[in-house]
């Protein structure tokens, strides 16, 4: 069974909307370096000890958020590529079709529920 074009179009639109949101969130606290990689801007709150500690805490928090957003962006781009090349909705582990319901809830899914449970020991 393959997915109908209307369903794929709906998923693609949702993914593109989410991609735009994630890219905007990344741009709020990062800048692109010469190679296009996103780098975190180190905050400057002042020279006092407490201010320096706040800078480090803020940078650490931003670094974690950047990693999560980059992983989300990677998953979105991978899903968009799979839509384009016709492999979207196929489990990367067992080759079976991922349920339409799962994809509607989590459009970036690349595995079926059974394989996900198996690999996460649920």
97 bridge partner residues: 90
* Torsion sign over Cα 8, 14, 18, 19: positive
What is this structure's pTM?
0.78
Instruction: Give every CB contact of residue 96 below 8 A, 6+ residues apart in sequence.
Output: 90, 112
Domain boundaries defined on the chain: 5-89
pLDDT tens per residue across span 52-92: 566 556 656 767 788 888 899 999 999 999 999 999 999 99
pLDDT tens per residue across span 13-51: 999 999 999 999 888 876 677 776 766 665 565 566 656
């Amino acid at each position: 069974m393959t997915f109908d074009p209307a369903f794929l179009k709906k998923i693609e639109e949702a993914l593109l909307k989410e991609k735009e949101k994630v890219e905007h969130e990344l741009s709020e606290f990062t800048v692109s370096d010469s190679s296009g990689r996103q780098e975190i801007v180190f905050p400057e709150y002042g020279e006092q000890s407490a201010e320096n500690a706040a800078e480090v805490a803020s940078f650490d928090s931003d670094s974690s958020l950047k990693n999560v957003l980059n992983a989300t962006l990677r998953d979105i781009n991978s899903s968009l590529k799979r839509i384009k090349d016709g492999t979207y909705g196929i489990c990367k582990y067992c080759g079976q079709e991922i349920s339409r319901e799962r994809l509607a809830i989590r459009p970036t899914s690349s595995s079926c529920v059974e394989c996900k449970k198996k690999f996460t020991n649920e």
